[in-house]
Chains A and B, each alone.
Chain A
Amino acid sequence: METRELTCIGCPMGCLVTVTLDNGEVKEVTGNTCAKGDIYARKEVVNPTRIVTSTVKIVGGDKERVSVKTANDIPKSKIFEVMKDIDAAEAKAPAHIGDVLIKDVAGTGVDVIATRNVEAI
């Protein structure tokens, strides 16, 4: 049996969660104060994922950059590949919250979407 201490990042509470593992299999999760913590802990020890947020260059708009995020979480190991695609991208105004700016970023199957409105000028 192996135990791992994690700080849950599901919300700003930052609960201290203890995961008990047996041969890489999660046996028990304790210390979490909500269901989110249980899900996070199980995922974090087996397949950690993150939402990536950044900005994309946008042309013809009332702003220079449009802020973006991955529509869902992506594997932690893919963060820098995702960033490479985001940095290479260029959007055209207008862009509105939720608009897909990059499809299937870095082969993750996840889209990058705008988190801010940029109007065309």
Chain B
Amino acid sequence: MKTYDIVIVGGGPAGLAAAVAAKEAGNDSILILERDHELGGILNQCIHNGFGLHTFKEELTGPEYAYRFIKQVLDLGIEYKLNTMVMDIAPDKTVTAMNREDGMFQIPAKAVILAMGCRERPRGALNIPGYRPAGIFSAGTAQRLVNIEGYMPGREVVILGSGDIGLIMARRMTLEGAKVKVVAELLPYSGGLKRNIVQCLDDYGIPLKLSHTVVDIEGKDHVTAVTIAEVGPDRKPIPGTEERYTCDTLLLSCGLIPENELSRSAGVSMNPVTSGPVVNESLETSIPGVFACGNVLHVHDLVDYVSEEAKRAGQNAVKYIADGCKEVTGDNVIELCATDGARYTVPSTINKERMDDLLTVRFRVGDVYKNSFVSVYFDDERVMHNEKRILAPGEMEQIILQKKKLDEYPNLKKITVKIEKE
């Protein structure tokens, strides 16, 4: 049986960046397992531009961004298997996978990097009343049909949810000649990036109706009309506010869910807020030697941050193996805590001995905050107080912790991130 030091589950942006970083950190025994027939993951269908501003200082489309990393994987001679589905990750880091050539096979690994990404919340999870006719797609499915297969899902479109893929698809369908009638968003704010609202909706005069949801879908065989209504603060439809739109297509862009079935069956501890694994400063899960990065860890809005995070996971996996695959225990573990508007932090704990000089902590807020402060407390002392013109749930935030600052607090037990008005 062939063994590898590092098995990476997923060949999308996270898996590719983790592989390149691990190779560059000196490990030559790396295998990427990818279930699709090509590397690159979801970037291949994200043909719009705006990727890479942070990583490459230029504006690339999704396929171009993916190819920058694919080329590195090829040039570095990193091994990968396509059309290969990982079935199981055992707690001892034996990875079970299958494909048409090899059948079912097992690979004992010293370290595993989880890079499975996320998937869209489907209609079944949304409780939309009405018939179940053809013409209802998740925004990402429509994106694949239009951009990869070259088919138009429909001509008259209503979109539920203002996630970035929904906004991008509103523009894409419009450019290809469809009439996008309305984007309805249940929440009083959009879950997408502001720039996407400007260049995907405002540019084309597509109305965004906040605090609205779908209350009826008509059509026996195919969608013929969709009714939306305003919702109150309890998110329940307000009678009398219904508006009916004739259409042949309903797109759903109602959130992304990290795809963690494998992590769960491996026994990795999960964070109920992110639906991703709980990780420490090294992006290592509760199982020593199992690392997580990218959208399987928490849903990102920028691929640049995915690549940066994955790079750290790759480097840390190499370090874990070089240090003898030891479980790092120590009482010097600092807990990271998110309160007062901050919903979560990644990572959740910091082991100071293993911390880099600078550590990026990412988090999201739970509501829209204007002219507020992102504050960081070391136990009860406020050590950071950064003013922000705007904080929104759709935009990931970050703080950077300095190791030398933490060293000034030898008895530090808890770091709290919170949003304050002053």
Binding site for B on A (CB under 8 A): 6-9, 11-12, 14, 16, 31, 50-55, 57, 63-65, 67-69, 76, 79-80, 83, 87, 97, 115-117
Contact = CB atoms under 8 A, between A and B. Distances in A.
A14 B194 contact: yes
A76 B310 CA distance: 36
B18 to A, nearest CB: 22
Contacts of A117: 67
Contact of A53 (B49, B150, B389, B390): B49
B59 interface: yes
Nearest to B47: A67
A115 B50 CA distance: 13
B203 A50 contact: yes
B48 A53 contact: yes
B29 interface: no
B47 A115 contact: yes
Contacts of A12: 50, 53, 193, 195, 301-302, 395
B407 to A, nearest CB: 31
B88 interface: no
B351 interface: no
Contact of B63 (A6, A8, A67, A83): A67
B126 interface: no
Contacts of B47: 53-55, 67-69, 115-116
A12 to B, nearest CB: 5
A65 B148 contact: yes
A69 B148 CA distance: 15
B149 A64 contact: yes
Given A79-B175, A115-B47, A116-B63, A57 B150 contact: yes
Contacts of A116: 44, 47, 63-64, 67
B96 interface: no
A7 B198 contact: yes
A54 B175 contact: yes
A7 B150 contact: no
A49 to B, nearest CB: 11
Interface in B386-407: 389-390, 395
Contacts of B63: 67, 97, 115-116
B147 interface: yes
Contacts of A50: 199, 203
Interface string B32-67: 000000000000100111100100000111011001
A50 B47 CA distance: 15
Interface string B162-202: 00000000000001100000000000000001110111000
Nearest to B44: A116
20 contacts: A7-B194, A11-B50, A12-B193, A14-B193, A14-B198, A50-B199, A50-B203, A53-B48, A54-B176, A63-B148, A64-B150, A65-B148, A68-B47, A69-B49, A79-B175, A80-B175, A87-B176, A97-B63, A97-B64, A115-B64
Given A83-B175, A117-B67, A55 B195 contact: no
Nearest to B392: A14
Contact of B195 (A8, A51, A52, A67): A8
Nearest to B390: A16
A11 to B, nearest CB: 5
Most buried by B among A16, A57, A67, A83: A67
Contacts of B302: 12
Contacts of B60: 115
Given A55-B47, A65-B150, A14 B195 contact: yes
A55 B45 CA distance: 10
Nearest to A15: B389
B150 A76 contact: no
Given A51-B59, A53-B49, A76 B203 contact: yes
Contacts of B146: 55
A113 B350 CA distance: 46
Contacts of A31: 389
A58 B198 CA distance: 31
B147 A65 contact: yes
B395 A55 contact: no
A53 B146 CA distance: 12
Given A76-B203, A97-B67, A69 B198 contact: no
